[in-house]
């Protein structure tokens, strides 16, 4: 019988050493299993050696160890993961705000991959992928039991190359296939426009390092366009998968004068971290309606929860995703990394976001409406050759029939109506 490989001896020796140390160190108060399981470590070494000797084809030691580490970490929760050097570099590239791929935020769920949301203006968004879609195959290969990071790696590729996703969609009986061309996804995290004089929509699609500063710039531009302060704003956080905590804190801070925004709490009672607003509400206290849905996750839920608890905004829409855990990146000596769930987010009133999400103050389901006859209303100025009005109104193009906001985006339409009501109730200065 062959002697165990050097890798096996090192594993067993390290396990025995750690176990010996554990015997001398008492477990933390309230914790179970303070001593390392020597028998299981020895079993791991034996299994490693058996795989090396008897598996149908040769397997590299490092590859086996990576599988072992991933198995240990992936079993914790959907968001903890071991990142190889390549994975770590791709993650940092994605966080920079520009990356190659389809532009979808995904999570592992019940052995499949669920789309949390497609990013605004991304190839996935343009192709028609929807929040809640389940990805079953990538280029014909099953994604069952892959982690979100492993699935993302399959979906990414060189810009200009196609990838085919097989999708299960709620309410649709047959499988759907989308062949989408990968592209460089540039994330513009803040967009804004005046829906009506005095009433603005601020769309935040993700939270990056400079999102707070971009938000303040957008508010200033809209005030200039409006020739004065705004009367109210809709903060659109729908299908926002989250992002950087500091970006979420900066956005909430822009609408609050003071007080707690969010706090995190880990396993250690002393690990609580609190984030507070500084003086300066850049909207001057005017009403805000924040729109959310099931695609609003993580950092988007932090903002919605803070504005709701502090009574700074009315939250409208549907219950949010419920991703209220914090992941910390531990960079290892070889450049790989461990992404580990270390704490939970809590709203100012102490509610955990995890699995519960943010429940809106006003439920606004994503309804679609149309005129009774299924057509947009036609007015005199839509008719070819109509007479001009006394005010010199130009003749309308009969092909350019206006489409109501209620038809295009019913929740936004309702949010604007709600915002107008709140503005009317606000005391005049």
109-120 confidence digits (pLDDT tens): 878 899 988 888
**Distance separating alpha carbons of residues 396 and 149, to the nearest angstrom:** 52
Annotated catalytic sites, by residue?
298, 309, 323
Q: Which 8-state DSSP code applies to residue 379?
A: -
Is residue 45 within 8 A of residue 3, CB to CB? The reply is: no
Query: Over 70: is that where the pLDDT of 59 sits?
Result: yes
Q: How many alpha carbons lie under 13 Å from residue 138 in its C-beta half-sphere? A: 19
- Report pLDDT for 4: 45
Lowest mean pLDDT among 43-57, 226-240, 370-384: 370-384
Percentage of the chain lying above the pLDDT 70 cut? 82
**Distance separating alpha carbons of residues 299 and 289, to the nearest angstrom:** 17
Q: Which of 24-33, 187-196, 351-360, 388-397 has the highest mean pLDDT?
A: 351-360
Which of 55, 47, 97 minimizes the C-alpha distance to 71?
A: 47
Q: Which 8-state DSSP code applies to residue 396?
A: P
Token code pair at residue 16: 């025995």
- Report pLDDT for 212: 94
> Whose structure tokens read 């804190």?
249
Which of 147, 131, 177, 137 minimizes the C-alpha distance to 300?
A: 131
Residue with the larger pLDDT of the pair 36 and 230: 230
**Distance separating alpha carbons of residues 237 and 222, to the nearest angstrom:** 18
Q: What is the three-class DSSP state of 117?
A: strand
**Distance separating alpha carbons of residues 304 and 312, to the nearest angstrom:** 10
Query: Over 70: is that where the pLDDT of 424 sits?
Result: yes
Residue with the larger pLDDT of the pair 371 and 105: 105
Q: What is the three-class DSSP state of 381?
A: helix
- Report pLDDT for 158: 83
Q: How confident is the model at residue 301 (pLDDT cuts 50, 70, 90)?
A: very high
- Report pLDDT for 224: 95
Residue 141 CA, distance from chain mean position: 25
**Distance separating alpha carbons of residues 337 and 81, to the nearest angstrom:** 9
- Report pLDDT for 397: 39
Q: What is the three-class DSSP state of 316?
A: strand
Do the bridges between strand 112-118 and strand 134-138 make them parallel or antiparallel, or are there none, so unpaired? antiparallel
- Report pLDDT for 16: 44
Q: How confident is the model at residue 243 (pLDDT cuts 50, 70, 90)?
A: confident
What DSSP element (H or E) covers 225?
helix 211-225
Token code pair at residue 76: 């914790």
Lowest mean pLDDT among 50-59, 87-96, 156-165, 356-365: 87-96
Lowest mean pLDDT among 26-35, 148-157, 310-319: 26-35
What DSSP element (H or E) covers 141?
strand 141-142
Largest CA distance in the chain: 103
Phi, psi of 40 (to 5 degrees): -65, -35
Residue 285 CA, distance from chain mean position: 28
- Report pLDDT for 394: 43
Is residue 318 within 8 A of residue 365, CB to CB? The reply is: yes
Mean pLDDT over the full length of the chain? 83
Helical spans, DSSP H, in 327-409: 405-408
Is residue 232 within 8 A of residue 423, CB to CB? The reply is: yes
Q: How confident is the model at residue 374 (pLDDT cuts 50, 70, 90)?
A: low
Q: How confident is the model at residue 15 (pLDDT cuts 50, 70, 90)?
A: very low
Query: Over 50: is that where the pLDDT of 17 sits?
Result: no
- Report pLDDT for 372: 59
**Distance separating alpha carbons of residues 56 and 76, to the nearest angstrom:** 30
Query: Over 50: is that where the pLDDT of 179 sits?
Result: yes
Judged on CB neighbours under 10 Å (0-12, 13-18, 19+), 359 is middle
Which of 304, 296, 289 minimizes the C-alpha distance to 348?
A: 304
Q: How confident is the model at residue 382 (pLDDT cuts 50, 70, 90)?
A: very low
DSSP letter for each residue of 174-210? S-EEEEEE-EEEE---EEEEEEETTEEEEEE--B-TT
Specify which residues 193 forms β-bridges with: 201
Q: How confident is the model at residue 139 (pLDDT cuts 50, 70, 90)?
A: very high
Token code pair at residue 345: 């987010």
């Amino acid at each position: 019988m062959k002697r165990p490989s050097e890798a096996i001896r090192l594993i067993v020796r390290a396990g025995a050493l750690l176990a010996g140390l554990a015997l001398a160190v008492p477990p933390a108060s309230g914790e179970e299993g303070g001593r390392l399981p020597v028998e299981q470590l020895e079993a791991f070494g034996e299994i490693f050696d058996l795989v090396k000797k008897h598996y149908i084809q040769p397997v590299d030691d490092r590859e086996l160890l990576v599988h072992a580490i991933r198995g240990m970490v992936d079993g914790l929760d959907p968001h903890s993961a071991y990142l190889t050097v390549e994975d770590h570099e791709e993650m940092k590239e994605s966080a920079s705000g520009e990356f190659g791929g389809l532009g979808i935020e995904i999570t592992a769920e019940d052995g499949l991959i669920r789309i949390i949301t497609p990013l605004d203006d991304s190839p996935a968004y343009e192709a028609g992928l929807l929040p809640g879609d389940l990805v079953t195959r990538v280029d014909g290969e099953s994604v069952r039991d892959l982690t979100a990071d492993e699935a993302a790696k399959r979906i990414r590729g060189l810009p200009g190359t196609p990838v085919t996703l097989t999708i299960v969609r709620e309410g649709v009986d047959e499988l759907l296939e989308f062949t989408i061309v990968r592209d460089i996804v540039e994330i513009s995290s803040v967009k804004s426009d005046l829906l009506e004089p005095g009433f603005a929509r601020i769309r935040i699609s993700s939270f990056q390092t400079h999102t707070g500063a971009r938000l303040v710039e957008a508010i200033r531009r809209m005030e200039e366009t409006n020739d004065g302060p705004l009367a109210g704003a809709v903060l659109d956080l729908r299908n926002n998968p989250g992002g950087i905590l500091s970006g979420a804190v900066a956005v909430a801070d822009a609408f609050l004068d003071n007080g707690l925004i969010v706090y995190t709490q880990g396993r250690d009672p002393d690990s609580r971290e609190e984030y507070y607003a500084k003086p300066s509400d850049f909207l001057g206290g005017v009403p805000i309606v924040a729109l959310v849905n099931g695609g609003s996750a993580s950092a988007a839920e932090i903002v919605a929860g803070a504005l709701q608890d502090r009574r700074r905004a009315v939250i409208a829409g549907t219950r949010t995703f419920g991703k209220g855990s914090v992941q910390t990146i531990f960079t290892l000596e070889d450049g790989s990394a461990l992404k580990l769930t270390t704490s939970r987010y809590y709203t100012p009133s102490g509610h955990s976001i995890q699995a519960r999400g943010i429940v809106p103050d006003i439920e606004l389901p994503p309804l679609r409406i149309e005129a009774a006859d299924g057509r947009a209303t036609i007015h005199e100025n839509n008719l070819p050759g109509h007479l001009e009005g006394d005010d010199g109104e130009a003749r309308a193009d009969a092909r350019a029939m206006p489409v109501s906001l209620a038809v295009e985006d019913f929740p936004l339409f309702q949010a604007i109506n709600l915002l107008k009501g709140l503005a009317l109730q606000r005391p005049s200065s």
